[in-house]
Amino acid sequence: QKEVEQNSGPLSVPEGAIASLNCTYSDRGSQSFFWYRQYSGKSPELIMFIYSNGDKEDGRFTAQLNKASQYVSLLIRDSQPSDSATYLCAVKKGSARQLTFGSGTQLTVLP
């Protein structure tokens, strides 16, 4: 079992819809959870991080964490074509400094 699992997609949604990206992790000692966005040919850039169970909202983005189910998700409201990218879920265990990444979900927002 991979430490961090994501549905590779591709996931296609129409412009203006809600895109839902999911991630599960295997290590219950994981403490911090990150969503990175990576455009084709570019480097990953941080969108959001979450530490506590529940929801965290930032503009059109909402991260959701459920530690009991070892599940973290990212919702993108009012999706735009510019949101088309690969979204990487990353997990940090305890006091560790390194991130463990999932394989990413490719999102396409159709105009």
Partner 1 sequence: DAGVIQSPRHEVTEMGQEVTLRCKPISGHDYLFWYRQTMMRGLELLIYFNNNVPIDDSGMPEDRFSAKMPNASFSTLKIQPSEPRDSAVYFCASSLNPGATEAFFGQGTRLTVV
Q: Minimal distance in Å, beta carbon 35 to partner 1? A: 11
Cβ distance to partner 1 smaller for residue 36 or 79: 36
| Residue whose CB is less far from partner 1, 45 or 58 | 45
| Buried b or exposed e, range 72-99, using 16+ CB within 10 angstroms | bbbbbeebeeebbbbbbbbbbbeeeeeb
Nearer to partner 1, 79 or 86 (CB): 86
Residues that bind partner 1 (CB under 8 A): 32, 34, 42-46, 49, 88, 97-104
Q: How far is the CB of 94 from partner 1 (least distance, A)?
A: 13
Nearer to partner 1, 94 or 111 (CB): 94
Report the alpha-carbon distance of residue 102 to residue 109 in Å, rounded: 21
Q: Smallest gap, in angstroms, from Cβ of residue 42 to partner 1?
A: 7
Please work out, in degrees rounded to the nearest 5, the angle formed at the alpha carbon of residue 109 by the alpha carbons of 22 and 47. 50
Distances 34 to 38, 80, 85 between C-alpha atoms, Å: 13, 21, 16
Q: Residue 49 Cβ, how far from partner 1 at the closest point, in Å?
A: 5
